[in-house]
Structure 1
C-alpha cells in the first residue's frame, strides 16, 4: 500500500513544480508604442521589456526604418530612460520629424559602453513625406582622431562644487563623400555606461579627408567623487569614451575637522558634567556624629572626694558648703564648667569658715 502511494506522490510533486517553476524571460528585448501614429508634437508612451538591468535606453524617431542607424534619426528630440530591476523600461517621447523620409520607426538602443541592443517599433509620422528605403552603400567613414577632457573646477571643485570639464572631440572624414549634420550623441555616467545625456553642438558638414573639432561642456552634480565616463557615438557608428576622476579633498577635510570639533565638544561636555557631579558630591555635608548622652553625676561620691582632697595651697583643709554645692548640682541640666571652677576655687559662699 505504501509502495503504491509513493510513486503517486512523487508524480504529483513533479506536476505541481511544472506549474510553479518560473518561466525564464525572453533573451531578446521587446517594445511597444501607444499610439502607433501621430503628428509632430504627439506624446507617445514607449514600453519595453527584457532589457539589461542597470543600463539606460535611448529612444528616438527615425526615418528609413533606421537602416543606416542613428543617421536616420531625430537625435535632438531623443530621450533616455533607465531600465528597472525587472528589465522593463518606459519613456514618454514627443514626436518630431526625422531628418529623412518615412517609413518611420521608434528606435530604441542601449548607450555607449554597454552591449549594443536595438529594437525598432513601426510608427507613422503623420504629415511627413515617405520614400523608398535606401541603405547607404558607402556609409560615412568617420574616425575619432582624439577625445580628451580639458579644464578643471579649481578650488571650488575641491570644496565639492560642480565638477566642470570640456570634452574636445576631433574626428576625420575618411569616406569619399561629405558628411552633413551627422548626429553626435554624448553622455556621462558614474559607472561603465554614459547614460546621462549631454548637449552636443551641430556637426555641420565635414568634407572628405577633413577633420572637425567639437566641444561639449560636461557638468557633474555637486559633491561628485570617484571615476566617471564620458562617451558617445558620432554618425551612429563611431564610438568614443574618456574616463576621469574627481575627489573633493577640501570638502572631505572640512567634514573631518567638523567631526573632530563635534567629538571634542562632546568630550568637553562630558568632562564638565563629571566635574559638576564631583563638586556636588563634595558639597554634601557629612552627617554629624551623635552627641554623647550626658552621664549622671554621683553626688555622694563627689562630696566624699571633695571632703578628702579639697585643700588650700598652704595645706589647710577647705570646708565645703555642701548645701550650696548640692543645690548647684541639682540646678539646670546645662553644666557651666567655668562657674563650677570659680565655685571650687573660691571654696563656696562659706569657704572661709
Structure 2
C-alpha cells in the first residue's frame, strides 16, 4: 500500500515538471524566447478557404497586418517585399493587453509562386515581424533564388530622407531628397561598391526601380552609412513610398509626403486672365483701324470736349480803364462811299464846321421865326 502511494506521488511530480516544458515547446522557440511568434490552424489550404492565425509575444495594443506571401521562407523572410504578397486580401488585427491575437485570414494565391508563408508585421510603431510556413494548394511552386555567399548587407537603422524643396519645386521642378541609412555586413567577406535599387511608388501602384551604386567597401562585421539620391518626376505631389532593395530583397521603406506645386496653379490662373485681356485689347485695336471714319465737320460738331480743352475766364475784380484812342472798337467806322476828304461837313482839314450865319439853313430858320 505504501509503495503505491509513493508511485502516485512520483508520477504527479513528473507531470508537474513536464507540463510547462510541453507548453513551451508547443508555443515555438520564438514565443519561448520572448519574441513575436505566429501559429496557423492549417499548414495547407486551397483558394477560397480560410485559416486562423494566432500570435503571441507582440507589444500590447499594436496594429498588425496579416498577408500570404510567395517566394518566402522564415529563414530569409519575404524576399521580394510586399510585392510578393496578396495585399488586396490581407487582414488587420490588434493585439490584446498581453500581446496576443487571433484572426481569420482568407486563402488566396500570391503573385509569386510558393514556397509561401503567412507574414505578420506591425503597421505602426517599432518594426516587428514573424513568418509561418504555409502551402497554398494548387499554386505553382518554384525554387528560391540562390542566396549570395560571402558578404550580406543588413539594415541597422531606420532610413530617413534628407533635403528640402526649393522655389523651383514650388513651380513644378522635380522634388529630390537623399535616402540615408546605416547598413552592416553580416557575411564573411567584404562588400565592395554595392549596387542598390531605389524604388518610388505612388499610392497603391508598384514601385519603379532605379539602380544606385554606392562607392565604398563594407568589411565583415562592420557598418557604414549609405547616402543615395532620390528624385521624382516633375510636378509630382501626394503620398509616395521610397523602397531600398539589395540582392532581390527589400531592405527598407520610407514614406514621403510631397506638397502640391501651387506656383503652377497660380501661373495657369494668371494665364487664363492675361491672355483673354490681351486678345480683347488687340481685337479692339483692329476694329478701331478697320471701321470707316466720319466726315471732319461732323466729327468736329459732335466731338466731345476733353478735360482741359474748355477754359473758363473770369472778369477781373478791378478792371483797368483803357484809352479810347487805343481801342480799335471805340473808333467810328468809316463809311464805304465816302472818303475822309469828301465827307460832307468836313473842311480841308477833314473836320466838321459849325453852320454859317448866312447859310440857307440859318435863313430858313429865321424866316419861320
TM-score bin, normalised by smaller chain: 0.3 to 0.5
With normalisation by structure 2, the TM-score equals 0.37
- Work out which of the two has the higher radius of gyration on C-alpha atoms and give 1 or 2: 2
TM-score (norm 1): 0.39
